Structure 1
């Protein structure tokens, strides 16, 4: 049998061989050496023309050439990629997520997947299982499990024979992707607003505690507010730069100075030590506002603080 046929690449394994699904419904084995064009352009779904050849092992495709086609993007099915596993697709959007602690691995994994579905994303990337030990009030030691991962929207390239079909599928992809991004970002923004409200409430409580137990006659509301301004400037900078970790900076700029004022109010602390501590808080805030979210996440991971930050309710999104 020696006929010229049309078909699409159905599979391609280890960059060496695969199968072509012919327009006649049959499958044809092929080796990359049988392609007469650039081997690096072989992708699943690409249209090809080939010569069918009967072999002792079945039908094979020879003299393979790419047919003229058009590329479009589409959203693949949901998939979970473990830590270090190669991602099959293009990352359109992603955010960092850490689950709570669970008694079983299955519960932690299900929580991660449920969060991905809640945000409307189609992939979990670099899912890393973390197991630690905790002690309850009865001094009973037990294991807890959690996952750290990237929740992402992935896309793949498809191929079709007409420009009209490619444009229609690309438009459909953009609409779905934009809706998924907006849904995910809206949910994250809602969580951040709740955190902002909690932060303000904590600051107000500490304010009340300071002024109801004021041992320093010179500290008044106006002076306290004046001291707060430098610590809040980094939050303004981060907001203008649209940094995703701006609420982490806000926590640093409101709660820490408030806690510092309260502590210095109830115990005897030298003024110079209070000023140095306050200056360090301001320096940390400015430093955070000058770095990208990706760098901040990296630093928090290295310092083993990322999980604590997530536990406080601060969801840090990658840029």
Structure 2
């Protein structure tokens, strides 16, 4: 990346955004627009509406009981204005955290956990704190697009929010500097900022959050921070996942493990999954499950030509 690009990212980390564009510049990361206050952001595709996972979006919109909101806004930290209520969920959503097109996960920093998600000092701590030194590189956990990259007055300090193809958003707070700009596409493991102690923070650390439609979940549901890897490529999203202070589901989810939730769901006939074995094809799976290939594709948001990965699960009912 050229020095010219980093120079303007440095400016970006210290100021807000004007709505008056005055110029555009081509960089090795794409075209950027310059505003009258000398801040920058990447130019979005004209038709981009913030939807990173169309299959998931359609399922959410189909459930009128939820009425969840999620827009694309570079200036709002919480685009639903915290009105989303996932306690009304009666169903279980199955998310693939990584897939054939977006295969990678990278731990945002190598440091150890210094504070867990949950009730802390009279208020809820909605993320996991990870140890670092000021100036350490912070990386994107999954591939996606930067929705927010600026100073946040709500206590996060310098904050980056990335919306991902798996339906989640991740928050990276208390940074000393941003290395990305709004609307920029990033890959898992790409540097997005430098660690720091900005905002409501006492000592350098990374405050890391995982949110689904603006609602926080325990990041340790998703990530083993000791091994620096995903606990599972699949995540079953149900309302108990979002209760304040929830422990990782391998310890407890209202007394049920993820396997138990899935078994209960299957027993109720609401959903059924098939674990892919070596040699399986969609036609074979459809035949075994008394359904059709087109139905499988619709249920899982895949195509007939999608490569099946051994050990992954597909929904068949």
Query: What is the TM-score with the length of structure 1 in the denominator?
Result: 0.22
Greater Rg by CA: 1
Structure with the larger helix share = 1
